[in-house]
Amino acid sequence: LLALPVAWLLRRATWTSRAPALGVIAWHVLSASVLVAILFGAFAAIPEASGGHDEHNRLMFMEVCLLAVIFLAVVGAIVAKALVSSVREGSSQRRRHRQLLRLVGRADARLDAVLVDHASAAAYCVPGRGSHVVLTTAALAVLDDAQLAAVLAHEQAHLRGRHHLALAAGRILRRAFPWVPAFRWAHDEVARLVELIADDAAARQCDRQDLAAALVMLAADSRPVLPTTAF
């Protein structure tokens, strides 16, 4: 029920767009509930020991207990493997991108960002250790001061909110159990909702029309240059 129909209803809900932070919490609670239901299901499958003490009942009870333990061990191993691979992959990608930025980028103290010479208008942030906002020179050319401030506020909101951690949980479960619809949808929906959270944070600091105009200008560029680990 949680993994398919309830997740499908939450995916179609419109209130999550109006309250994205609550929506992120709802998806995380749903994902955790599915995982806990799977684990507790293994314990629920163990029958109570029969009142009799004949050898057949004892063997059956021990066999079911062994199967439950094996099931829990397999689930734990799958989650652990997905966790380790996701952490290693994300850290490696961010480290390589930071090394690349040190070679081709230049720090701008006024904007508190790294500038990169590129023909595509792009703005993104690299989360994690040594996090920073990255802007291309093309983005500086198409955005006015108010729009640029809104974009920077949006990216800083991602970093302050540690949105990469919110996405990491969904990514791990999606990688561990790709056949479970709730985990696939949770990852995609959380990725969408954290962008709305950053938009709301930027809109509280800047004019909403400037923010909307900046988003349209950056989205209109047909040559995206964003790395996979960036927001």
Structure tokens belonging to residue 103: 């070679």
Residue 190: the pLDDT is: 94
Q: Which of 100-114, 132-146, 191-205, 212-226 has the highest mean pLDDT?
A: 191-205
pLDDT band with cut points at 50, 70 and 90 for residue 109 = confident
pLDDT band with cut points at 50, 70 and 90 for residue 43 = confident
Report, as an integer, the average pLDDT of 134-141: 89
Task: Kindly tell me if the per-residue pLDDT of 222 is higher than 60.
Answer: no
- Dihedral angle, C-alpha 8, 9, 10, 16, nearest 10 °: 130
What would you measure as the largest C-alpha separation in the chain, in angstroms? Answer: 83
Report, as an integer, the average pLDDT of 110-121: 87
* 8 A C-beta contact, residue 153 and residue 181: no
Kindly give the residue spans of alpha helices, DSSP state H, lying in 7-130.
7-12, 15-18, 20-44, 55-104
Exposure class string for 62-89: b at 16+ Cβ within 10 A, else e: eeebeebeebeeebeeebeebbeebeee
Q: Express as a percent the part of the chain with pLDDT over 70.
A: 90
**Chain position carrying tokens 């057949």:** 56
Report, as an integer, the average pLDDT of 141-160: 91
Report, as an integer, the average pLDDT of 160-187: 89
pLDDT band with cut points at 50, 70 and 90 for residue 47 = low
Structure tokens belonging to residue 117: 């010479």
What single DSSP character describes residue 177?
Answer: -
Q: What is the DSSP string of 109-170?
A: TTTTEEEE--SS--EEEE-STT-EEEEEHHHHHH--HHHHHHHHHHHHHHHHHTHHHHHHHH
Task: Kindly tell me if the per-residue pLDDT of 56 is higher than 70.
Answer: no
CA distance 76 to 70: 10
CA distance 185 to 25: 14
List Cβ neighbours of 34 (8 Å cut-off, separation of 6 or more): 2, 3, 7, 180, 182, 183
Report, as an integer, the average pLDDT of 16-31: 94
Name the least confident of 106-110, 178-182, 208-212: 106-110
* 8 A C-beta contact, residue 140 and residue 148: yes
Report, as an integer, the average pLDDT of 122-139: 85
Report, as an integer, the average pLDDT of 189-203: 93
Residue 61: the pLDDT is: 73
pLDDT band with cut points at 50, 70 and 90 for residue 53 = low
Residue 51: the pLDDT is: 54
Task: Kindly tell me if the per-residue pLDDT of 15 is higher than 90.
Answer: yes
pLDDT band with cut points at 50, 70 and 90 for residue 146 = very high
pLDDT band with cut points at 50, 70 and 90 for residue 54 = low
